[in-house]
Amino acid sequence: MKKYKNAVAFILNDKLVEVNFNDSRSHTPTTTVLNYLRNFPFHRGVKEGCAEGDCGACTVVIGQVNEENKIIYQAVDSCLMFLPMLHGKQLITVEHLARIEDNKIILHPVQQSLVDKYGSQCGYCTPGFVMSLFALYKNYNNPSKEIILDALTGNLCRCTGYQPIIEAAELACVNNGTDHFTDSEENITNILLQIKKSTKTLSLKTKKQTYYRPAKFKKAKLLRSLHPEAIITSGATDIALKVTKKHELLKEIIDISGIEDLKYYEERPNTINVGAGLSLEKLKTLSEKALPALHHMLTVFGSKQIRSLATLGGNIGSASPIGDTLPVLIAYNASVVIESIDNKRIVNINDFIKAYRKTDIHTDEIITGVIIPKPKEGTIVRSYKISKRKDLDISTVSACYALKLNNENIVQSIILAYGGVAATTKRALEAENFIIGKLWNQEIVEEASQIIFREFAPLSDARAGEEMRRIAARNLLVKFYSDSLTF
């Protein structure tokens, strides 16, 4: 069986490619997939618009073999993916969508529909849109408008306008995903499985960098203990910006995105246990019934391209005061599971976040999962996000509330968790203490909302002034009260 030494292997469209790091000047382990592709004259369909996941011009589709040995196609931003993250996957670029038959170019249905609906003007965004439409085509038949809009949220167009592109999606996605990729799927699956089988840990070394990509969690823990200075990366949607925006040299990296054991979602009798490596896109789908407040927050989290890469462990690990899952996890009273080679501990999320972007994690530990207690019968949990734009924007202020009333409408317990109003995600403890034991009515809620207005001392920045944030925090509680009357 072939061993990959200082090299990664993947399928570029339909060809097996091995990229070696021995003495390459054109790429390093933290070269992004976007920059790798644009080194080739034939692969310049993919574009750079922002290099930070905001425009979608760099969208490519990744094919991965799932547990049932089927290829799953996902649109991702190639500007946020490091080259080794392609190992054992199929990278599909816009150049491979059309095919030649009898010396004629036959466009893929999504390309033909864009032509038919006049969905392109200057064309800069078009390859990115084509790839998002292609992923939609492979995953849905006759998708609803909501599904189409969600698939296109991560792509910006400054000249055509979106209506013709939406119509192109409606026109194209009617063949149950069948196309020329269907014919080659079995062969591609076999090659990808071979690569997976023959790789335990990728260990990539150049003069300046070392990049580890373990396939097993045990190995990741060992690597972590041996390399305490190494940066952990999972989806890399935060870490990649260190390279693309800050031009930092990441000397040692442990990439845990290839560890399948960390991608679980388990419903237990009293808890829901989520693996740190589960993508937020999968979590969004899986949590819809059992954890609606989390599901709701994930519907306005980044874009599909971002959520397909980003993980729950990464959102917690970033400890950003505007990390969107954090107020939700606080409201659900979740705990974080942390492991090192010889220890495992479970820490409540409130204690895990220590300060601005600082967590309780030690240099030999990895976040492995999150335990979310199922809310008690009758508990209302609801999440809110205020941002400048509804889609693909980070929060100005976010909140998640959990409320339990008794039969007399008296508040038995309440959690008021906020993002964007302090250096960390924070509970409005003073307001909580005021509300507990009181009647849940407009007068009490308005008084509590005034406490919230005084309780936080947020900063002003480009997103909002401090007063606007305090007003938003105050008013969200009033909105929650009004929403709670309809449950």
- Positions touching ligand FES (CB under 6 A) are 48-51, 53-58, 77, 79, 120-126, 157-160
The one of ligand FAD, ligand FES, none whose footprint includes residue 445, by CB under 5 to 8 A per kind, is: none
Nearest to ligand FES of 125, 397 (CB atom): 125
User: Contacts for 142-150 with beta carbons within 8 Å, 24 or more apart?
Assistant: 142/173, 142/174, 143/169, 143/170, 143/173, 148/173, 150/299, 150/304
The one of ligand FAD, ligand FES, none whose footprint includes residue 301, by CB under 5 to 8 A per kind, is: ligand FAD
Nearest to ligand FAD of 51, 473 (CB atom): 51
3-state DSSP call for residue 63?
A: strand
Q: CA 151, CA 391: separation in Å to the nearest integer? A: 11
Nearest to ligand FAD of 119, 128 (CB atom): 128
Q: CA 324, CA 307: separation in Å to the nearest integer? A: 12
The angle at the Cα of 166, spanning 164 to 168, to the nearest 5 degrees, equals 70
- The site for ligand FAD (CB under 6 A) is made up of 52-54, 231-239, 256, 276, 301-302, 306, 309-311, 313-315, 317-318, 323-324, 361, 366-367, 394
Residue 203 tokens read as 């260990």
Which residue type is seen at 431? Answer: A
Nearest to ligand FAD of 89, 404 (CB atom): 89
Q: In whole angstroms, how close is the CB of 347 to ligand FAD at the nearest point?
A: 12
The one of ligand FES, ligand FAD, none whose footprint includes residue 415, by CB under 5 to 8 A per kind, is: none
Q: Which residue is nearest to ligand FAD (CB)?
A: 314
The one of ligand FES, ligand FAD, none whose footprint includes residue 151, by CB under 5 to 8 A per kind, is: none
Nearest to ligand FAD of 319, 415 (CB atom): 319
Q: CA 312, CA 275: separation in Å to the nearest integer? A: 8
Q: CA 39, CA 208: separation in Å to the nearest integer? A: 21
3-state DSSP call for residue 150?
A: helix
The one of ligand FES, ligand FAD, none whose footprint includes residue 57, by CB under 5 to 8 A per kind, is: ligand FES
Q: In whole angstroms, how close is the CB of 36 to ligand FES at the nearest point?
A: 13
Nearest to ligand FES of 152, 259 (CB atom): 152
Q: In whole angstroms, how close is the CB of 116 to ligand FES at the nearest point?
A: 16
Bridge partners of residue 64, in order along the sequence: 72
Nearest to ligand FAD of 396, 449 (CB atom): 396
Nearest to ligand FAD of 54, 170 (CB atom): 54
The one of ligand FES, ligand FAD, none whose footprint includes residue 234, by CB under 5 to 8 A per kind, is: ligand FAD
The one of ligand FAD, ligand FES, none whose footprint includes residue 265, by CB under 5 to 8 A per kind, is: none
Cα separation values, 385 from 65, 184, 296, 434, 455, Å: 34, 43, 10, 24, 19
Which among 161, 151, 130 has a CA at the least distance from the CA of 47? 130
Q: In whole angstroms, how close is the CB of 155 to ligand FES at the nearest point?
A: 9
Q: In whole angstroms, how close is the CB of 157 to ligand FES at the nearest point?
A: 3
Number of H helices, E strands in the chain: 17, 22
Q: In whole angstroms, how close is the CB of 268 to ligand FES at the nearest point?
A: 37
Nearest to ligand FES of 57, 399 (CB atom): 57
Q: In whole angstroms, how close is the CB of 200 to ligand FAD at the nearest point?
A: 19
* Total count of residues recorded for the chain: 487
Q: CA 96, CA 93: separation in Å to the nearest integer? A: 6
Nearest to ligand FES of 366, 392 (CB atom): 392
The residues near 154 (Cβ < 8 Å, ≥ 6 apart) are 53, 56, 59, 75, 77, 132, 302, 303, 304, 305, 306, 392
The one of ligand FAD, ligand FES, none whose footprint includes residue 135, by CB under 5 to 8 A per kind, is: none
Q: In whole angstroms, how close is the CB of 395 to ligand FAD at the nearest point?
A: 6
* 435-473: b (≥16 Cβ within 10 Å) or e: beebebeeeebeebbebbbebbebeeeebbeeeebbbbb
Q: In whole angstroms, how close is the CB of 124 to ligand FAD at the nearest point?
A: 18
Which among 18, 53, 5, 7 has a CA at the least distance from the CA of 32? 53
The one of ligand FAD, ligand FES, none whose footprint includes residue 121, by CB under 5 to 8 A per kind, is: ligand FES
